[in-house]
Amino acid sequence: MAILEAMSAGKPIISTSVGGIPSVVRPNHNGWLIEPGKINQLDPVLDQIFTEPDLVSSYGLNAFVDAKQFHVQAIVSNLNTIYTELLTTD
């Protein structure tokens, strides 16, 4: 939930590639993924953050747009579509 909240605020994400996180955080699009326990993988990420502020802004905007698919209204709309299709299928 914290990742989705940060994305909703337009923040790029730095996380590990565990569980369902890679389905939300996409490297070179809305954030960075590192392998669990590989702390040295943070070095190039931090270098990029401090040397490429436009990239950080771009990732943040992408994160904001991507987070909309997880908004309550979007989920309810998708569920309504699914239920309607199930109820009308012969």
DSSP string, 4-64: HHHHHTT--EEEES-TTGGGT--BTTTEEEE-TT-GGGHHHHHHHHHH-HHHHHHHHHHHH
User: For residue 3, what pLDDT is reported?
Assistant: 96
Flag residues of the chain having pLDDT under 50: none
Please give the structure tokens belonging to residue 61: 């905007």
| pLDDT digit string, tens, across residues 8-30 | 999 999 999 999 999 999 999 99
Residue 78 pLDDT? 79
DSSP 90: -
pLDDT (0 to 100) of residue 45: 97
DSSP state of 69: G
Q: What is the model's pLDDT at position 90? A: 65
Domains of the chain: 2-88 (3.40.50.2000)
pTM: 0.78
Instruction: Compute how many other C-beta atoms are within 10 angstroms of the C-beta atom of residue 57.
Output: 12
